[in-house]
C-alpha cells in the first residue's frame, strides 16, 4: 500500500550527538515536510521541500538539517546545536498540482526522540 514510512519509531540521543530520522514515501508526492510536536502542543514546521535538491527553512529550523537527494526520501538530522530535541517528529508529503490549498498533506506515524 502507498504511504509514508518513518523510522525508527523511538530514538534516543546522547548529549552532543547528531541523529538522523528517516522518512520515505511511495506516494509519488513532490512536496515533503518535517514537523515537530511537543506534548499538548500543535505542530511546528521545521523544513519543507517542493522538489528534489531544493528545500526551505520552516519556522524552527535552527539545530536541524535536511537533504532531498531523491523524490521519495527526506531525512532529517537533529544536530547537537538543537538544545531541546526531545519531541515527536512527524514527516508529511503532498502533491503540488492545483495549488497548496487543495492538496492534503499525509503524515507518517512519527519518531519519538528522547535525550539520554
Partner 1 sequence: DAKTTQPPSMDCAEGRAANLPCNHSTISGNEYVYWYRQIHSQGPQYIIHGLKNNETNEMASLIITEDRKSSTLILPHATLRDTAVYYCIVRVGSGNTGKLIFGQGTTLQVKP
Residue 85 sits in the site that holds partner 1 (CB under 8 A): no
CB nearer to partner 1: give 7 or 56. 56
Stretch that binds partner 1, among 11-19, 29-37, 66-74, 76-84 (CB under 8 A): 29-37
CB nearer to partner 1: pick between 43 and 52: 43
Kindly tell me which of 37 and 65 has the beta carbon lying closer to partner 1.
Answer: 37
Cα-based torsion angle of the residue sequence 110, 81, 86, 57 in order, rounded to the nearest 10 degrees? -40
Give one DSSP letter per residue of 76-105, joined into a string: EEE-TT-S---EEEEEEEE--TT-GGGS--
Q: Could you tell me which stretch among 14-22, 40-48, 65-73, 74-82 binds partner 1 (CB under 8 A)?
A: 40-48
Name which position in 27, 45, 60, 61 contacts partner 1 (CB under 8 A). 45
The whole-angstrom separation of Cα 10 and Cα 3 is 19
Q: What are phi and psi of 43, to 5 degrees?
A: -90, 145
Nearest to 107 by CA among 36, 50, 38: 36
Instruction: Indicate whether 106 belongs to the interface with partner 1 (CB under 8 A).
Output: yes
- From candidates 11, 27, 31, 52, binder to partner 1 by CB under 8 A: 31
94 binds partner 1 (CB under 8 A): yes
Contacts of 102 (CB under 8 A, 6+ apart): none
Amino acid at each position: 500500500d502507498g504511504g509514508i514510512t518513518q523510522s525508527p519509531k523511538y530514538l534516543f540521543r546522547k548529549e552532543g550527538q547528531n541523529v538522523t530520522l528517516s522518512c520515505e514515501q511511495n506516494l509519488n508526492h513532490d512536496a515533503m515536510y518535517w514537523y515537530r510536536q511537543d506534548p499538548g502542543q500543535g505542530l511546528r514546521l521545521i523544513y519543507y521541500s517542493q522538489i528534489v535538491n531544493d528545500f526551505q527553512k520552516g519556522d524552527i529550523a535552527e539545530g536541524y538539517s535536511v537533504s532531498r537527494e531523491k523524490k521519495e526520501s527526506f531525512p532529517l538530522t537533529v544536530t547537537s546545536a538543537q538544545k531541546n530535541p526531545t519531541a515527536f517528529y512527524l514527516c508529511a508529503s503532498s502533491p503540488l498540482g492545483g495549488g497548496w490549498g487543495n492538496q492534503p498533506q499525509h503524515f507518517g506515524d512519527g519518531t519519538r526522540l528522547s535525550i539520554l
